[in-house]
Structure 1
Amino acid sequence: MNVLIIEDEFRAANQLQNMLKTCDFEYNLIDIIDTVEDAVVWFQQNEMPNLVFMDIQLADGLSFEIFQKVEVEAPIIFTTAFDQYAIQAFKVNSVDYLLKPIQEEDLQKALQKFSKSNQSQHIENSVLKQLLTSIQTQTEQKNAKTRNGLLVKEGTGFVQIKVADVHYVYSEDSITFAVTKNKRYIVDETIDQLFNSLDSDQFYKINRGQVVAKNAVEKINPYFNHRVKLTVLQERDQEFIVSRQKTSDFKAWMNQ
């Protein structure tokens, strides 16, 4: 059973692999891809896998864009941090989905559904439009209700800090950190979960493992391979490099 994982968060991809093992699901992981661009190239150059796990939000856009550029003739189980959107579209078109953080029981059910059908699934353009519209609507709703506080670990307990005080967020060794002017805190969320709750006008995910606050970016510097490197307040042995696919969009975001 050849399985392809399309996921831009290392921690999430690793957790999925571990959960598949606990589900007694025999599989051969053929690749892990983290961008729309790389996924399109992969599908153009390789045989179709037996099953694809696909995150909806990738490093350079929404995974639905993949289907607009290449035909994917493989069963797909979507994973998403968005709650309660386009569920009917998924059900009607027999496309399964898992809500992050993924629960073992839900994964088991999705695998059982896959085993019973074991058929290629095609996603129609009308469904893509419905899913994209649903995402845009929920994103607008989320941004209208963005969080002001952030619960972080301190000692053996938790304290709340102001989101406005956060300069940047990053993931290292499967741990999410939030950095303020005075301190670095551990956050008990994945970087995707945290980013999805932040104001997109003030925070930008520059690559798979880093989110920066607009007011913390001091300078944008040219970098090789058409990327840019940022000078950010309170840098702690970090390099802030905007991925090539996001450079133009990041500059436009900074210019807003």
Structure 2
Amino acid sequence: MKILIIEDENLAAKRLITLVKQQLPACEIYGNLDTVTSATDWLKNNPEPDLIFLDIQLADGISFEIFEKIKVNSPIIFCTAYDQYAIKAFKLNSIDYLLKPVDPEELERALNKFQSGRKQPSVTLDQIKHLLQPIPKTFKNRFLVKVGERIQTIDKQEIAFFFSEDKVTFLQTRLGKKFIIDYTLDEVEGMLDPEHFFRLNRKYISAISAIKEVFTYSNSRLKIHLENCADNDILISRERMGPFKNWLGQ
């Protein structure tokens, strides 16, 4: 079986390839392709694959543009970071999908559906685009944490920052209490309202209320001191300085 991966997030692509190989060890995987242009060129110049995993948002545009440039007959399993409400709309039209980050059980179900010979319904490109019209984004208002045998909630107003240490993600409150949470920092970032929280660097996401002091550092970076944080070497790269200043001053 020949499988083509079209995905613009390198880590997501590597994870997907690993999971597919676990389910279908004998398959041949092509890609990863990360743009509409590269995917279109590949499909024009190669035999059609047996199955395509297709991200919706690619590096140079929306993947539906591929279908406007070339006819694709291969079955497609969509990969998407759209929220659960859009995914429900996909389900109503029996379109195969994977919600990122890919869940192994969801992948197995999608592959079983494909292997059982169930064909995708006749859904037009315009209908798919309609399903993906922006839906009001909802953000987490509280996080569940475990304290001994007890589970409690931490409201977003109580959160000072999140940080990652030794591959574990922590939530720290404005009172300085730390709790382990069952999400990666990347997952947490997508759950938070960007008006109130900012990804400082690979290790920290901070609430605006937790920003204690900001200093210039080596003319190309910023150094941040956070409320109740012992780490005094939190740096913001030159690339993130502009977005950070805009966020801080909005």
Aligned position for 2:86:
85
Aligned-partner residue type, residue 205 of structure 1? R
Aligned-partner residue type, residue 175 of structure 1? V
Change (3 A) 1:229 1:45: farther
- Structure 1 residue 205 corresponds to structure 2 residue 199: yes
1:79-228 → structure 2 map (5 Å cutoff): 79-80=80-81, 82-85=83-86, 87-88=88-89, 96-99=96-99, 102-113=102-113, 124=125, 127-128=128-129, 130-134=131-135, 137=136, 139=137, 142-143=138-139, 146-147=140-141, 149-154=142-147, 158-172=151-165, 174-181=167-174, 182-206=176-200, 210-217=204-211, 218-219=213-214, 221=216, 228=221
- Structure 1 residue 23 corresponds to structure 2 residue 23: yes
User: Is this contact kept in 1: 2:86–2:131, CA < 8 A?
Assistant: no
User: Is this contact kept in 2: 1:40–1:70, CA < 8 A?
Assistant: no
Structure 1 residue 154: Cα displacement: 4.2
Aligned-partner residue type, residue 85 of structure 1? A
Identity of aligned residues (%): 24
Structure 1 residue 202: Cα displacement: 0.8
Mean Cα deviation higher: 124-133 or 76-85: 124-133
Q: What's the Cα RMSD here?
A: 4.7
Structure 1 unaligned residues grouped into runs of 5+: 34-38, 57-61
Q: Secondary structure at the match of 1:199?
A: coil
Q: How far apart are the structure 2 equivalents of 1:17 and 1:176?
A: 25
User: Is this contact kept in 2: 1:80–1:97, CA < 8 A?
Assistant: no
Structure of larger gyration radius: 2
User: Is this contact kept in 2: 1:153–1:188, CA < 8 A?
Assistant: no
Q: How far apart are the structure 1 equivalents of 2:60 and 2:91?
A: 16
Q: Structure 2 length as normaliser, TM-score?
A: 0.61
Structure 1 residue 30: Cα displacement: 4.8
Mean Cα deviation higher: 151-160 or 39-48: 39-48
User: Of residues 205, 223, 236 in structure 2, which corresponds to 1:241?
Assistant: 236
Structure 1 residue 231: Cα displacement: 0.7
1:60-82 Cα shifts (integer Å, max 9, x gaps): xx659622897487845214362
Q: How far apart are the structure 2 equivalents of 1:200 and 1:110?
A: 32
Structure 1 residue 165: Cα displacement: 3.3
Q: How far apart are the structure 2 equivalents of 1:210 and 1:51?
A: 35
Structure 2 unaligned residues grouped into runs of 5+: 44-48
Q: How far apart are the structure 2 equivalents of 1:124 and 1:223?
A: 50
Count of residue pairs brought into register by the alignment: 229
1:232-252 Cα shifts (integer Å, max 9, x gaps): 4015376443583x6544433
Q: Secondary structure at the match of 1:200?
A: coil
Structure 1 residue 44: Cα displacement: 7.9
Q: How far apart are the structure 2 equivalents of 1:172 and 1:27?
A: 37
User: Of residues 32, 38, 42 in structure 2, which corresponds to 1:43?
Assistant: 38
- Between 1 and 2, higher relative CO (CA 8 Å, sep ≥ 6) is seen in 1
